[in-house]
Amino acid sequence: MVAILTRIFGIEHLNLAEDVVQEALARALQTWPFYGVPKNPSAWIMRASRNLALDVVRRRKVFQNKQAEISRLMDRDSATSDEAIFSEDEISDDRLRLMFVCCHPAIPAEAQVALALKTLCGFSVAEIGHAFLTTEAAIAKRLTRAKQKIHQARIPFEIPAGGELGQRLDSVLQSLYLLFNEGYKASSGDNLVREELCEEAIRLAELLVAHPAGNQPETHALLALMLLNAARNPTRLDTGGNLLRLQEQDRTRWDKSMIARGMFHFAQSAAGNELSEYHLQSGIAACHCAAKDYESTNWHQILSLYDRLIEFDQSPVVALNRAVAIANIRGAKAGLQAVRRIRNLNKLSSYYLLYAVLGEFEMQSGNPQAAAEQFRKSFELAETKSERAFLLKRLQRCVDGETT
């Protein structure tokens, strides 16, 4: 809805489009409990947004040149109230346009993805801060600067072509990657997995890969990564909502059709000579999906892929994942050494998974007291209910002197 109204109003009025949609959603919350949920909720909200937009147009002279477009929308109202105002093709096209607008080179690079996550994906400032390991205040400043730049630069509402396409596509893919990650492992809240975010990221990636602008090897690689990881979602929690580690998951319940789709796009990503971090990450995910059980996982191949991935992304989080692969090949003590050698390890000082990994390594090395200390730190930093419950159980096993 924001994408459609942004096309109508002009990208310089992005804030107004967001405000109108929020007001429509608020009205839905106020009226639906009394009158019931309409047969087509999205059509109801879109119609309410459109009517609010028309009110704004009538009040503000600055929008006189938009009246024809709004009137055209009003003419569509001959349809019944349960029918959608816009076709799926229109909606898809406008969403793609807005994705590329958010990632225009005129917008500071550090603000592009933050704007896409906020505008297209509905992320809160706090969630974006978690994704970038930075503060809410820093993200709020990025968003303000990005919207100011959109207004000043008069960025066109279009899908780019030629050399400009590749530059913007990278930021679009990073936005989808972070959206999926927040769904795959939520940064806060009661639920570890937010399947609706995973599904939305996959849907947007499929929309992108079906368009000539996005039908690139890198896009196929990212879509493969999402599908292969999301295929494991049904088994990542037990019936009580408790976290299950990879070695504890029932692989017979992994979504085989989703794995097949992931493998298809993984194969499609091999076109050309291009190699991206998404190729390497989807390769790691494919190794896990191909193994019949945890013990038969090809950890040597996974480590080799992480070695290449470090060349693309020197993030300490990637290095931490690499340490896990090392531990599965050479043992927990080698894993501990790999963690200590991570460059910029201090950036993970508030990252609960660092201490969870160290706790596991210390536990496997026969040091329950040291493991307990690490699990305690991890428990204090974890923000989802299922992760805190899992870490509390690991901590209790250390207190009891167990090393498995």
Residue 233 falls within a domain, yes or no?
no
Residue 225 falls within a domain, yes or no?
no
Give tens-digit pLDDT for 341-375. Answer: 998 899 999 999 999 999 999 999 999 999 999 99
Q: What percent of the chain has pLDDT over 70?
A: 90
- Give the mean pLDDT of 208-224: 92
If pLDDT is split at 50, 70 and 90, which confidence band does 87 have?
Answer: low
Residues 338 and 355 in one domain: yes
Residue 64 falls within a domain, yes or no?
yes
For residue 358, what pLDDT is reported?
97
- Report the candidate in 68, 74, 30 with the shortest Cα–Cα distance to residue 51: 74
Alpha-carbon dihedral sign for residues 96, 99, 105, 109: negative
Last residue of a domain, one of 212, 229, 248: 212
pLDDT over 70 at 298, yes or no:
yes
If pLDDT is split at 50, 70 and 90, which confidence band does 63 have?
Answer: low
Last residue of a domain, one of 45, 69, 86: 86
Residues 17 and 150: beta-carbon distance below 8 Å? no
Give tens-digit pLDDT for 161-190. Answer: 766 777 788 888 988 888 888 888 876 666
- Report the candidate in 352, 375, 349, 343 with the shortest Cα–Cα distance to residue 362: 375
Residues 29 and 74 in one domain: yes
At CB < 8 A and 24+ separation, what contacts does 134-139 make? 139/114
Residues 98 and 132: beta-carbon distance below 8 Å? no
Give tens-digit pLDDT for 303-347. Answer: 999 999 999 888 999 999 999 999 999 999 999 999 999 988 999
Contacts of 39 (CB under 8 A, 6+ apart): 82
For residue 1, what pLDDT is reported?
82
Residue 218 falls within a domain, yes or no?
no
Other Cβ atoms closer than 10 A to 105: 14
- The CA distance from 62 to 60, in Å, is 5
Please indicate whether residue 217 or residue 145 has the higher confidence score (pLDDT).
Answer: 217
- The CA distance from 276 to 57, in Å, is 45
For residue 120, what pLDDT is reported?
74
- The CA distance from 198 to 121, in Å, is 11
State how many domains the chain has. 4
If pLDDT is split at 50, 70 and 90, which confidence band does 78 have?
Answer: very low
Residues 117 and 192 in one domain: yes
- The CA distance from 363 to 56, in Å, is 62
Residue 63 falls within a domain, yes or no?
yes
pLDDT over 60 at 76, yes or no:
no
Residues 300 and 324 in one domain: no
- Structure tokens belonging to residue 258: 């989703």
For residue 81, what pLDDT is reported?
53
Residues 207 and 129 in one domain: yes
Other Cβ atoms closer than 10 A to 103: 24
DSSP string of 54-81, one letter each residue: HHHHHH-GGGGGGHHHHHHHHHGGGS-T
Residue 221 falls within a domain, yes or no?
no
Residue 346 falls within a domain, yes or no?
yes
The SS3 of residue 342 is coil
Last residue of a domain, one of 86, 119, 147: 86
Residues 93 and 193 in one domain: yes
* Helix or strand holding residue 328 (H, E): helix 316-330
For residue 68, what pLDDT is reported?
65
DSSP assignment, residue 189?
B
Residues 134 and 151 in one domain: yes
DSSP string of 192-234, one letter each residue: S--HHHHHHHHHHHHHHHTSTTT-SHHHHHHHHHHHHHHTTGG
Helices 163-184, 195-209: crossing angle, 10 deg rounding? 160
Residue 227 falls within a domain, yes or no?
no
Residues 135 and 208 in one domain: yes
Report in angstroms the alpha-carbon separations of 392 from 103, 281, 398, 400.
Answer: 41, 30, 10, 12
pTM over 0.75, yes/no: yes
For residue 209, what pLDDT is reported?
92
Mean pLDDT for the chain overall: 86
Residues 98 and 191 in one domain: yes
For residue 169, what pLDDT is reported?
87
Domain residues for the domain of 56 are 1-86
- The CA distance from 259 to 79, in Å, is 41
- Give the mean pLDDT of 42-70: 74
Residues 207 and 110 in one domain: yes
Residues 144 and 43 in one domain: no
- The CATH number linked to 365 is 1.25.40
Annotate 46-60 with b (16+ C-beta within 10 A) or e (fewer). Answer: bbbbbbbbbebbeee
- Report the candidate in 90, 218, 240 with the shortest Cα–Cα distance to residue 165: 218
- Give the mean pLDDT of 236-250: 88
- The CA distance from 68 to 89, in Å, is 21
Residues 266 and 280: beta-carbon distance below 8 Å? no
Beta bridge partners of 384: 189
Helices 352-364, 316-330: crossing angle, 10 deg rounding? 10
- Report the candidate in 5, 12, 90, 95 with the shortest Cα–Cα distance to residue 56: 5
Residues 77 and 165 in one domain: no
